[in-house]
């Protein structure tokens, strides 16, 4: 009689089996984790600022975060990419994180930032 915890076939070397359904973070979980990533110049989280445009997770557990920066010339882009990866990779079933920086649509805090962020920025 097989132990039900061990009745799956061994994974091929170097291949990570996806976690069972329900044991992987969902895109909303990733967005929630990204609320901890602050833009260091502004002091507001990147989700509240409206910098995160999309989150996708592939079957292997790699999360792709499509986002922008406040300006294409932002010197803190590499720092924010690292912070995004650090916030996402500890989540259940996430095997890696990739940041896809895009510039279209251009970031506009008047329309993309949350109401709370707009108030903090003085945009009424």
Q: Where are the domains of the chain?
A: 27-121
pLDDT, tens only, 34-89: 999 999 999 999 999 999 999 999 999 999 999 999 999 999 999 999 999 999 99
pLDDT at 97 over 90: yes
Rounded to two decimals, the pTM is 0.80
> What dihedral angle (degrees, nearest 10) is formed by the CA atoms of 34, 69, 85, 50?
20
H or E element in which residue 54 lies: strand 52-57
- Span 10-34, average pLDDT: 73
| 38 class by beta-carbon count within 10 Å (0-12 exposed, 13-18 middle, 19+ buried) | middle
Instruction: Please tell me the CATH code under which domain 27-121 is placed.
Output: 3.30.300.130
Per-residue pLDDT, 86: 97
């Amino acid at each position: 009689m097989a132990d039900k915890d061990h009745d799956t076939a061994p994974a091929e070397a170097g291949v990570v089996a996806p976690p069972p359904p329900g044991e992987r973070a969902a895109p909303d979980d990733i967005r929630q984790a990204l609320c901890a990533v602050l833009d260091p110049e502004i002091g507001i989280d990147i989700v509240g600022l409206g910098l995160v445009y999309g989150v996708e997770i592939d079957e292997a557990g790699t999360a792709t975060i499509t986002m922008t920066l406040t300006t294409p010339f932002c010197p803190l882009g590499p720092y924010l990419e690292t912070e995004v990866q650090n916030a996402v990779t500890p989540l259940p079933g996430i095997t890696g994180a990739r940041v896809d920086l895009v510039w279209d649509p251009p970031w506009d805090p008047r329309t993309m930032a949350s109401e709370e962020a707009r108030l903090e920025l003085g945009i009424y």
